[in-house]
Structure 1
Amino acid sequence: MDEPSPTIDPLTNQFGSLNDLSHELASLQDLAMRGSWRSILDKVSGARSLDLLTKPHDHLIYLSYNVLALTKLRRFSDASNELDSLHDFNSHHYKYETYPKLYHTRSGSMVPFSLRFINAQLPFKLGNRQEGLDRFYLLLNFIRQKIKDKGIHSLQESVKIWRKREVFVLHCLIGHHLGAKEFNVCLDLMRDLINHDYLDPVLVSKLGYIQMQIGDFEGAKGSFHRVETMLNERKNDDSSALSEVEFRNLVNRNKALVFLVGKDYVSAVREYEECMERDPADVVAVNNKALCLMYLRDLSDSIKVLENSLERVPTVALNETLVVNLCSMYELAYVNHSEIKRTLSNWIARVAPDDFDASCTRV
């Protein structure tokens, strides 16, 4: 967000609670963390109807949570209509200096970065890919201008935040181009970043993945080796938010991918098991280990891997890809798979967040 850090009061710049930033913000954040998106819609509606939002930035923060909740619940048209009510993000209505009595010496936009991001992402959900790409590139230009402006004023911490946003948006752009198999565009975007010393290990790993897609196997291995070297030297750029465990698991997953391409599933399983020993909530490792075991015709153990993950870390492991794969394995392994899937579906209904797509069980 363009507004202050969530632990600083935007009016006094003094440290305080989340609720100092906006009306019952801590409650909204807690509901979001639990995936209680319908409750957020109710809370926003209640705050608006009771006129509890007294400052301009209150309205924007609540609108952000409302748009996020609508998006999570796949109500994309409603989310888009809510965003359209703002008209122009750069309007003077959304600048701190327009309200000097409220915000004193603060200046700049009070529009949360999350709103700008959702605004770029929504067209993809509504089937308008080109508009989505246009908005993402506009957002990228906006971020780069912020970096340029803040760099001039030597606001180093602020520059770091915007550089992380730049890398995040570029990851999203690369993902959208990758989905359309526009590999050359992806490579150009990544090489531009890497040439500017953005040594983000996730980005370099993604470069290796794309090199594999276009048949440049040696180039891919070179990229993965570069990530391992970055881990060993711990020279990863501040734009990477990876912990050491996440970094090490990324290296293992890269190695596993090389083994997968060579159909060496036993070695791939070993790499994924190392990831799971460090972090049982590494869903990519869990899911891919199960798939490797299935390729090795060990369907029983493959199912156990996914079931154990759901039992041990349901809040993390409960994602739709993993559940789809588990249900596919049930269909292969059991004659009475419908009953087993129904049991899984009932369990999901009790523990899943509001935005989980229960239809993935194919009951």
Structure 2
Amino acid sequence: MARGRRAEAKAALDGAAVGRDDDDDDDATFALAALRAELPYHLNDARGSLDAMCAVHAMCAREAREARGAEAREAWRRRRDAAARGVARRHMLGDDPRAALVWLDALARSEPDEPAHFSAAGRAHLMMGDLEGARLCFEAAEKKTAALGEAATEAQRGRVLRDRGDYFLTGLRFPEARTAFAAAMAKGETDVAAKVNSAVAAVYDGDLNSSRALLESGLANVVNADVNSKARAFISPSVVKNLNSIYELTARSPAEAKRAMNDFIKLVAPEDFDVTCMAT
């Protein structure tokens, strides 16, 4: 959604009531509140988005306490945890892993069998430079994924491998990181994080050509990807900047290679893409 349309959407939502009457649909109430909390982030108001998401969490917690009947309480508990995941994610995006861990700890207590909470906690520890804490969290996530047996999805299994790769990458164990990321990509070809981090590991491992191939293939996958596909997340300033740097070192004609790549990005990038990253 372009920035102008996001602003229009926010204005429209601000005019809608969020308070819930007995006759209101609970799912719609939660969805509206969550959407109102999400939009400010895309309008460069990260603090406002975080505060709004915390308010959504408080609303859901209150409804869970006051709901009549086990089914209604459970529904609001699920919504409360969804809001908590949103708050934790906002803290991670805001480079505040310690605050994120507070919410992730609460989520792990509420949903102790969910591997994603432990995986996210491991990433928070990596952000803080705490390799041992990350290792313990990632091992817990792996055990909980294994405990799911056949019910574990390919995405969950792939996340275990990506966690392993990120742990090795942060620990400067680049060959092992590349092996883990390759296994993660085998589980899901659209795993953007695994492909980008594998390319980073390849650079540090002295293999610029493999890094270039990974980044270029990720961009190529965008061409036929659905507008809502995760593959489109590959169009990012970091990928463009990394490729520009690699072209300087590997391309026969760096200027021509960068110009061709930038022209391609202009064709497939969303309207609000930060074009300043394409400066050569």
Bin for the TM-score computed over the shorter chain: 0.7 to 0.9
In structure 2, the CA distance between the partners of 1:111 and 1:216, relative to structure 1 (3 Å rule), is same
In structure 2, the CA distance between the partners of 1:140 and 1:310, relative to structure 1 (3 Å rule), is same
Q: Which residue of 2 aligns with 1:108?
A: 25
Q: What TM-score do you get using the length of structure 2 for normalisation?
A: 0.81
**Following the alignment from structure 2 to structure 1, what is the Cα–Cα distance between the partners of residues 26 and 128?**
42
CA contact (8 A) 1:208 1:219 kept: yes
User: Is 2:108 aligned against 1:194?
Assistant: yes
Alignment partner of 1:214 out of 128, 140, 157? 128
**Correspondences of 1:2-13 after superposition (within 5 Å):** none
Q: Which amino acid in 2 is paired with 1:140?
A: H
User: Is 2:2 aligned against 1:80?
Assistant: no
Superposed displacement of residue 142, structure 1: 2.1
Superposed displacement of residue 230, structure 1: 0.8
Q: Which amino acid in 2 is paired with 1:83?
A: L
In structure 2, the CA distance between the partners of 1:266 and 1:340, relative to structure 1 (3 Å rule), is same
Superposed displacement of residue 139, structure 1: 0.5
In structure 2, the CA distance between the partners of 1:208 and 1:346, relative to structure 1 (3 Å rule), is same
Q: Which residue of 2 aligns with 1:328?
A: 245
Q: Which amino acid in 2 is paired with 1:73?
A: A
**Following the alignment from structure 2 to structure 1, what is the Cα–Cα distance between the partners of residues 142 and 125?**
17
CA contact (8 A) 2:166 2:197 kept: no
Q: Which amino acid in 2 is paired with 1:135?
A: A
Secondary structure of the residue that 2:3 maps to in structure 1? coil
Superposed displacement of residue 332, structure 1: 3.9
User: Is 2:157 aligned against 1:227?
Assistant: no
**Following the alignment from structure 2 to structure 1, what is the Cα–Cα distance between the partners of residues 64 and 242?**
42
Superposed displacement of residue 284, structure 1: 0.9
Secondary structure of the residue that 1:155 maps to in structure 2? helix
Secondary structure of the residue that 1:280 maps to in structure 2? coil
Alignment partner of 2:156 out of 247, 252, 258? 247
State the structure with more CA Rg: 1
Superposed displacement of residue 138, structure 1: 1.1
Alignment partner of 2:219 out of 310, 313, 319? 310
Unaligned runs of 5+ in 1: 1-71, 98-106, 237-241
**Following the alignment from structure 2 to structure 1, what is the Cα–Cα distance between the partners of residues 44 and 220?**
36
Superposed displacement of residue 209, structure 1: 1.8
**Following the alignment from structure 1 to structure 2, what is the Cα–Cα distance between the partners of residues 355 and 127?**
12
**Following the alignment from structure 1 to structure 2, what is the Cα–Cα distance between the partners of residues 77 and 351?**
23
- Give the aligned length: 271
In structure 2, the CA distance between the partners of 1:215 and 1:116, relative to structure 1 (3 Å rule), is same
**Correspondences of 1:89-100 after superposition (within 5 Å):** 89-90=18-19, 97=23
**Following the alignment from structure 1 to structure 2, what is the Cα–Cα distance between the partners of residues 245 and 179?**
25
Deviations 1:255-274 (A, max 9, x none): 11221122110010000111
In structure 2, the CA distance between the partners of 1:262 and 1:131, relative to structure 1 (3 Å rule), is closer
In structure 2, the CA distance between the partners of 1:198 and 1:138, relative to structure 1 (3 Å rule), is farther
Q: Which residue of 1 aligns with 2:40?
A: 123
Alignment partner of 2:181 out of 252, 260, 272? 272
Alignment partner of 1:155 out of 71, 85, 90? 71
Deviations 1:315-360 (A, max 9, x none): 2154214334323322343474333233223333444455555554
In structure 2, the CA distance between the partners of 1:277 and 1:124, relative to structure 1 (3 Å rule), is closer
**Following the alignment from structure 1 to structure 2, what is the Cα–Cα distance between the partners of residues 322 and 330?**
12
Superposed CA RMSD in Å reads: 3.1
Superposed displacement of residue 155, structure 1: 3.0
Q: Which amino acid in 2 is paired with 1:139?
A: V
Deviates more, 1:121-130 or 1:257-266: 121-130
Q: Which residue of 2 aligns with 1:342?
A: 259
CA contact (8 A) 2:219 2:235 kept: no
Superposed displacement of residue 127, structure 1: 4.8
**Following the alignment from structure 1 to structure 2, what is the Cα–Cα distance between the partners of residues 91 and 275?**
43
CA contact (8 A) 1:280 1:313 kept: no
Alignment partner of 1:298 out of 203, 207, 210? 207
Q: Which amino acid in 2 is paired with 1:85?
A: G
Unaligned runs of 5+ in 2: 226-230
Secondary structure of the residue that 2:156 maps to in structure 1? helix
**Following the alignment from structure 2 to structure 1, what is the Cα–Cα distance between the partners of residues 70 and 176?**
48
**Following the alignment from structure 1 to structure 2, what is the Cα–Cα distance between the partners of residues 207 and 196?**
15
In structure 2, the CA distance between the partners of 1:349 and 1:216, relative to structure 1 (3 Å rule), is closer
**Following the alignment from structure 1 to structure 2, what is the Cα–Cα distance between the partners of residues 91 and 137?**
17
